[in-house]
Amino acid sequence: MREQSKYLEGVDKKDLFASGHRACGGCGQALAARLVADAAGENTIACVATGCLEVFSGPYPDPSWRIPFLHSLFENASAVASGVDAAYKALKKGPVNIIAHGGDGSTADIGFQSISGMFERGHNVLYVCYDNEAYMNTGVQRSSFTPYGARTSTTPTGNTTRKKNMPMLAADHGIPYVATATVDDFRDLQLKIRKALTIEGPKYIHILAPCPLGWGHHGELTVEICRLAKDTGLFPVYEIIDGKVTNVRKIPVKVPVEEYLKPQGRFKHLFKKGVPTKEVDVIQEIANQNIERFNL
């Protein structure tokens, strides 16, 4: 008990994203959205893309958001947020935090053009991407964030491509702030949200948000899985400030990828009678490359 309260020290809990929403138990995205809303505070407008988040938190007549919430489509949250930003400038209102929220699909696939436009035009918008590595809302189909080897409903024998590197693509737009985070470190995640909101211009925060339903792990393992994603090197946590990678989280004790893969149903087929197939080596190689690249 004491340990948990220490864990929550310095974590904002304002309940701006109320409980009672319809997410699955252990949903990483629900946890992340709450942390984001509470860190950003009341003076915030949320522009949310269609996806699990919108569906579990935005039903009429009882949405979970206690801040203004604007949803229109799957692929336009960035452009809608740009419009809100333009309106605030034109009407000389504000300052206000404008946060666009999208899943990996709405961010990097169908909404890629829209987010690229928002970055390039320099809107004062923070974009938060909830990366659960597939199209969950429509039943766990592959997205361009689906990692190598993962089984989804449209990659039944395992995904053969590697994950698109969205944080780097965001940074290459020349935006002032990019960060990655996970839902096992509340403080770090909220710190990055608060920090981003002090910076003028477009910001991008990429949050690994495990999905028990799509990943096939027990809901109570969501936080642990994030830790494993970091400690294997599969999900590097860092910031990119004005184009420079910084504040890279060092791995305390390196963990083989097997430990990350094994609790997840989506990687089950990579082990034959408990013995890793050569696909696991490929994934280990991806982790090794990350470790080297970011000096994890």
Ligand X SMILES: Cc1ncc(C[n+]2csc(CCOP(=O)(O)OP(=O)(O)O)c2C)c(N)n1
State yes or no: residue 44 binds another protein (CB under 8 A).
yes
Cα–Cα dist 37/202, whole Å? 18
> Considering beta carbons, is residue 64 or 152 the nearer one to Mg ion?
152
Candidates 72, 138, 288, 290; binder of ligand X (CB under 6 A) is: 138
- How many other CB atoms are there within 10 angstroms of residue 174's CB atom? 13
Comparing CB distances to ligand X, the nearer of 29 and 182 is 29
Q: Are 49 and 55 in contact (CB under 8 A)?
A: no
Q: Using the rule CB under 6 A, is 105 a contact of ligand SF4?
A: no
Question: In this chain, which of 17, 56, 112, 119 binds ligand SF4, going by CB under 6 A?
Answer: 56
Q: Is 184 helix (H, G, I), strand (E, B) or coil?
A: coil
The stretch near ligand X (CB under 6 A) out of 37-45, 76-84, 132-140, 150-158 is 132-140
Among 11, 14, 18, 72, binds another protein (CB under 8 A): 72
Residue numbers 179-238 binding ligand SF4 by CB under 6 A: 211-214
> Over the range 107-126, which residues count as b (16 or more CB within 10 Å of their CB) and which as e?
bbbbbbebbeebbeebbbbb
At 217, list the tokens: 């792990």
Return the number of the residue (132 or 159) whose C-beta is nearest ligand X.
Answer: 132
56, 135, 204, 215: residue in contact with ligand X (rule CB under 6 A): 135
Minimum distance, C-beta of residue 189 to another protein, in the bound complex (Å)? 22
C-alpha R_g of the chain? 18
- Contacts of residue 227, defined as CB under 8 A and 6 or more positions apart, other chains included, come to 182, 184
Smallest gap, in angstroms, from Cβ of residue 208 to another protein? 26
Contact at 8 Å (CB) between 101 and 33? yes
- Plot region of 15 (φ>0 → left; ψ -120 to 50 → alpha; else → beta): left
234, two tokens: 């599969």
Question: Which of 69, 74, 127, 238 touches ligand X (CB under 6 A)?
Answer: 74
**Main-chain dihedrals φ then ψ at residue 73, nearest 5 degrees:** -140, 180
Q: Can you tell me the distance from the alpha carbon of 41 to that of 197, in angstroms, rounded to the nearest whole number?
A: 11
Q: Is the dihedral of CA 207, 211, 217, 221 positive or negative?
A: positive
Tokens 């436009």 locate to: 117
- Out of 12, 38, 85, 104, the residue judged to bind ligand X by CB under 6 A: 104
Task: Give the footprint of another protein on residues 74-103 (CB under 8 A).
Answer: 75-76, 78-91, 93, 96
* Closer by beta carbon to another protein, 62 or else 242: 62
Q: Which residue in 137, 155, 222, 232 binds ligand X (CB under 6 A)?
A: 137
Which residues make up the interface to ligand SF4 (CB under 6 A)? 23-24, 27, 29, 52, 56, 132, 136, 211-214
User: What does the binding site for ligand X look like in residue numbers (CB under 6 A)?
Assistant: 29, 50-53, 74-75, 102-106, 130, 132, 135-138, 143
| Site of interaction with another protein (CB under 8 A) | 42-45, 47, 54-55, 58-61, 63, 65-73, 75-76, 78-91, 93, 96, 113-114, 116-117, 120-121
